[in-house]
Structure 1
């Protein structure tokens, strides 16, 4: 059978922070590196409208629940996928309307292929007031609840989870124990840092703070009959402006 190959992206959009200055860079990124499916974090109604304009051939979830417009959402190429189901699962992520956002997509015109569950989340920032107060890492349980939710939603079928995991150790181990592999590890590689973007142009201050720790926070995980072919952390600037303080991660997959 003809292989079904698509490009997936994960991107933390940095909320509304300096969005007016970044809007042309964001639009340019999606025009130059147009993904077939993208899950985003730190969404804002203004950035959602911007992506709608930048990806006219894509659809997204349109739902009254506020989190789909203010926390996360998923866009997919209408010619490649058809939406059959979607939802927002509470997996313990702190903050109002924070959820595990997911869609079930059927490859267009391919009755021989199973549907794909694609999901996105933004795990709690380590500087959250509750974590600073009790000194307990909530992202471990968030990862466990995420695995349990995706077990229920996808079973052994093809499943992808894109995330700003806001951590470097324990939650990643939980995902691996749950049968998920990140796109870099599957190809025998290690992820370059995804945060912060350097140089990050800030009016009046020049660059990002000196000594900022470079870390890989953004991941594309997969499980089931999916094969990554290529993956990268994308360095992108438009007229000297970065689209976000995070770098997008992109991977090309084949659905078996």
Structure 2
């Protein structure tokens, strides 16, 4: 490890909105109590699940803001003994869901002289959105392009982490790669395991989706991307059940990163 560098664990997690939340609450609480990350990004957040995360991560802070998306879409948590908040914001990147944005914070590590970083998240539009079904055009490619443009402006040459439920397996990923971002598995010469859907889900009895009788295909759609002066050390799709229940229909992704010192 470089002298003055700083290593920490990041997790991204789609919390599945309000679906079966009463049954899943204990598992959500157990996950974050047993495996608390230093940085956490969430998608499909709701006020109730946000309160559960707050309870399970008492040593963490998050963004408190009147914009409703911080409680109904995404939020970002950081371990207070490790990071200080510098600033935060949102950016409209064309995601077609109420209050959906690119959510970001700029954090300064408290230890040594490690470089600051931008930590961000988004949940790109579901392929079953009415507009996409009507015109059959992939909405996520343009959204990924807007994410890259926004993070170019927000982060510049700083270390940048972008976490996402990308809802796709093709072009939006290529856009991010061509924008200088590398996912935490590719950075280690690996491919990502499946992140969605989780099985079994004992409280779910329906087959398929509300748009088709076909079950959702197994796929990797949850990612942690990095760019700039930051090194990927490890990456994992987390398998977690508590009392037979999964916390979500997605699996969390966790990765370890190192920030070099400002003098490295």
The alpha-carbon deviation at position 204 of structure 1 amounts to: 5.1
Give 2:180's aligned residue.
179
Q: What displacement does 1:207 show? A: 11
Deviations 1:137-165 (A, max 9, x none): 11001000000000001111100000000
1:113, distance to aligned residue in structure 2 (A):
2.4
8 Å CA contact retained: 1:201, 1:207: no
The yes-or-no answer on 1:228 pairing with 2:232 is: yes
CA change 1:191–1:135 in 2 (3 A) is same
Q: Report the Cα offset of residue 236 of structure 1.
A: 0.4
- Give how far 1:210 is off: 7.7
2:76 is the counterpart of 1:74 = yes
Q: C-alpha distance in 2, partners of 1:210/1:123?
A: 22
In structure 1, distance between residues paired with 2:208 and 2:28: 19
Residue 219 (structure 1) aligned with residue 227 (structure 2): no
Equivalent residue runs for 1:77-116 within 5 Å: 77-110=79-112, 112-116=113-117
Contact map agreement 2:15 2:42 (CA 8 A) in 1? yes
Corresponding residue for 1:201? Answer: 202
Aligned position for 1:13: 15
The alignment partner of 1:171 has SS state of helix
Structure 1: which 5+ residue stretches go unaligned?
none
Q: Secondary structure at 2:16's aligned position in 1?
A: coil
User: Partner residue of 2:4?
Assistant: 2
The answer as to whether partners of 1:30 and 1:55 remain within 8 angstroms in 2 is: yes
TM-score (norm 1): 0.96
CA deviations on 1:180-199 (whole Å, 9 max, x unpaired) are: 00000000000001000011
| 2:40 aligned to which of 38, 41, 58 | 38
User: What is the CA distance between 1:18 and its match in structure 2?
Assistant: 0.5
Unaligned runs of 5+ in 2: none
Q: Is the 8 A contact 2:4 2:114 kept in 1?
A: no
Is structure 2 residue 24 aligned with structure 1 residue 22?
A: yes
SS of 2:185's partner is: helix
CA offsets, 1:186-245, max 9 Å, x none? 000000010000112225569998853100000000001111111000110000000000
**Aligned to 1:232, what secondary structure does the other structure show?**
strand
Equivalent residue, structure 1, for 2:59:
57
Contact 1:105–1:117 (Cα < 8 Å) also in 2: yes
Q: Which residue of 2 aligns with 1:252?
A: 256
* Structure 2 residue 246 is matched with structure 1 residue 242: yes
What residue in structure 2 maps to residue 128 of structure 1?
Answer: 129
Q: Which residue of 1 aligns with 2:152?
A: 151
Residues 1:31 and 1:252: Cα distance change in structure 2 (over 3 Å): same
CA distance in 2, matches of 1:40, 1:223: 20
> Taking structure 2 as the reference length, what is the TM-score of the superposition?
0.93
